[in-house]
Amino acid sequence: MSTEALVRQWFQEVWVQGDESAIDRLLHPDAVVHGLSPESLRGPEAFKPFYRVMRGALSDMHIEIERVVVQGDSCAVLCHVNAKHTGDALGGQPTNQPLKCDGITKARVKDGQLVEGWNVFDFLSMYQQMGWLPNPVLPPA
């Protein structure tokens, strides 16, 4: 399977379809995932608590992959996430607000599994859309 195909499968099966078992198939046991928590997550068992919190808070998830750039065993993915805040797993009452969040993931693949990932998602905007954080006052244009 190509690097791009594996990353697309990850987003589709894990996040859109909500198939937690796909984490064990697609994420290498020694994988390192950066950018989703204060410390890097190592392996599927360390990744699953993050996954469960996000899936427990967000429903109706759709991910549009806008662009994938592949270089050797690595790729960069620009994606747009649409979801609805319907659960309390993030620590507050669900707002039932639709959410949009953009993100970039860089992944490295080896032997058909993800072995390293770097993630930058606009979670600040997500919390603002949920009404948990105020929108900043911007200077006039």
Q: What is the CATH number of the domain that holds 35?
A: 3.10.450.50
140 within a domain of the structure (yes/no): no
Cα–Cα distance for residue pair 4/72, rounded to 1 Å: 11
What is the extent of the structural domain holding 104?
3-129
Structural domains of the chain, count: 1
Residue 55 lies in a domain: yes
Taking the C-alpha atoms of residue 63 and residue 83, their distance in angstroms, rounded to an integer, is: 9
Q: Is 20 exposed, middle or buried (0-12, 13-18, 19+ CB in 10 A)?
A: middle
In a domain, 136, yes or no: no
Any domain includes 102: yes
Instruction: Report if residue 135 sits inside a domain.
Output: no
Identify whether 137 is part of a domain.
no
Q: What is the CA radius of gyration of the chain?
A: 16
Residue 56 in any domain: the answer is yes
- Whether residue 21 lies inside any domain: the answer is yes
CA distances to 9, 24, 27 from 112, in Å: 11, 12, 9
State pTM to two decimals.
0.91
For residue 105, give both structure tokens.
């993931």
pLDDT in tens, the chain (141 residues): 899 999 999 999 999 999 999 999 999 999 999 999 999 999 999 999 999 999 999 999 999 999 999 999 999 999 999 999 999 999 889 999 999 999 999 999 999 999 999 999 999 999 999 998 888 777 787
